[in-house]
Chains A and B, each alone.
Chain A
Amino acid sequence: MYKNCLHCGSLIPKESNFCGQCGQGVTLGEWEKNRPHYSAIIAFYLTIIGFIGASSLMFSQADVSFMSTLLVEILFAAIIVIYSLFNLDSILPLYTKPDVPRRVWMFNLSFPIFSSFLVYYSMDSLNTWLDLESSNTYLDNIDLDYPMLWTVISITLLAPIFEELAFRGYLFNHLLKVTSWQITVVATAFLFSLIHFSMVSLLWIFPFGLVLGYMRYRYNSLWLVMLIHFIHNLIVVGLDYYYAQSYLNEGWY
């Protein structure tokens, strides 16, 4: 395998550090080669975390209305889609129909059932131990006009679609260009758990992100990870709705 010297153009063996003809260094520093990817990773993450911070601050200071929540969700999705447009060549193939054996589909259907119940009840007891009020996705939206409809749309549909596009799509592609797949899986899971803004849920979101990252790497498809994320969130919302009803009947809320 040969390459051309960057300085004099001579044909030189690919593994050369220096050109044998002109003596100039021909291995680009890691930085020169990877600069666009690092810039993309940092800019994308800071935009997302800044947006989440600003919207959380807004919701904590002002009354939450249906329109404002909708606007925030649309803006969040728009940011991710706009960034993804710059990486379209690598992202579009991830949306082709995955060709995977049946056992993978079985895993896809059974893993989120297992993970959602495990996480739901273990986080509940952890919150009780910490004297924290468990957050309930349905009760969070109860002041809005159609709480159940909105909870289902935002938590079970929008979250899997756009979070997966952001972390297993855009960030994953750029990280994969600059480092090994193992580090990519760990790093995306880490950043994915950080944006949830809760250091307690980090304990389960990180391993959950590792599974999603591995599935994305192994089968090169976002459909599989979106499905896992969708079923997981659907069951959590269902359990939240079930317990919220009993709270409401007992007049706790």
Chain B
Amino acid sequence: MEELVIYEAPKACSFCSEVVPITNTFCANCGYPEYGTKTDISYFYSKRARQEKANTKALTKIKSAQIALFILAGIIYFSGMLSYNLLEDKLLLLTNSVLALLYVALAFWSGKNPIMGLLLGLLLYFTLLILSAVLDPASVYKGLILKTIVVVYLGKGLHSATRIKQQFHPLIQKK
């Protein structure tokens, strides 16, 4: 008599509903231990929670860096306007308007592509610091605290943007 062989059908992952082949212990999409032990499951949830928390924190820092770019744009535009109203300095108005536009564009871009937007924003800021040092060497020490704060915010945002873990992205959600 022929022996009856029962093939177990591959299950859908209990966490993200991707198909998990019977040969695998873990889901290849989200890492859920579909055929694992209870310890594996609790380890999965704690690790995921930790990483999601870290990702949320990183997103907040990116947001702050984005806001820093908007504030820079505002400051630079209004100082251009002010110098035009007081001194009729058309050059400064044009320069500062172009710069403010650049900062706004980079701020919006860093919403879509945080690494590139913040990287270019930081490099633009460094360029302007060096340019102002060339034009007026005494200006290096002016507003040193403010300059440091801007660099720290942009730097932290850039750093966080590079640390987001895609496999723990909120898009891979519990179904």
Write the residues of chain A forming the contact surface with B, with a CB cutoff of 8 angstroms. 12-13, 16-25, 27, 29-31, 34-35, 38, 41-42, 45-46, 49-50, 52-53, 56-57, 60, 129-132, 178-179, 183, 187, 190-191, 194-195, 197, 199-200, 202-203
- CA of A13 to CA of B122, assembled, Å: 38
Q: Is there an interface contact between A197 and B21, defined as CB atoms closer than 8 Å? A: no
A203 cross-chain contacts in B, Cβ below 8 A: 98
Q: Is there an interface contact between B120 and A23, defined as CB atoms closer than 8 Å? A: no
* Contacts A20-B27, A21-B26, A49-B127; A38 near B119 (Cβ below 8 A): yes
Instruction: Select which of B21, B126, B162 is within 8 A of A38 by beta carbon.
Output: B162
B156-175 CB mask vs A (1 if < 8 Å, else 0) is 00000011111100001000
Write the residues of chain B forming the contact surface with A, with a CB cutoff of 8 angstroms. 20-21, 23-31, 33, 36, 40, 44, 90-91, 94-95, 98-99, 113, 115-116, 119-120, 123-124, 126-127, 130-131, 133-134, 137, 162-167, 172
* Contacts A17-B167, A42-B123, A131-B90; A202 near B28 (Cβ below 8 A): no
| Chain B residues touching A, majority SS | helix
The 25 listed contacts between A and B (C-beta, < 8 Å) are A13-B28, A17-B28, A17-B31, A17-B167, A18-B29, A18-B167, A20-B25, A20-B27, A22-B25, A25-B31, A29-B166, A30-B166, A35-B162, A42-B123, A49-B127, A50-B130, A53-B134, A57-B133, A60-B134, A132-B91, A179-B113, A183-B116, A190-B124, A199-B99, A200-B94
* Contacts A17-B31, A57-B137; A25 near B167 (Cβ below 8 A): yes
* Contacts A29-B164, A194-B127, A199-B98; A183 near B119 (Cβ below 8 A): no
- Of listed A23, A25, A31, A179, residue having the most chain B CB within 10 A: A23
B94 cross-chain contacts in A, Cβ below 8 A: 130, 199-200
Q: Is there an interface contact between B24 and A21, defined as CB atoms closer than 8 Å? A: yes
New A-B contacts (12) at CB < 8 Å, excluding given A20-B20, A23-B25, A42-B119: A20-B25, A21-B24, A23-B40, A24-B31, A27-B167, A53-B134, A60-B134, A131-B91, A179-B116, A187-B116, A190-B120, A194-B127
B119 cross-chain contacts in A, Cβ below 8 A: 38, 41-42
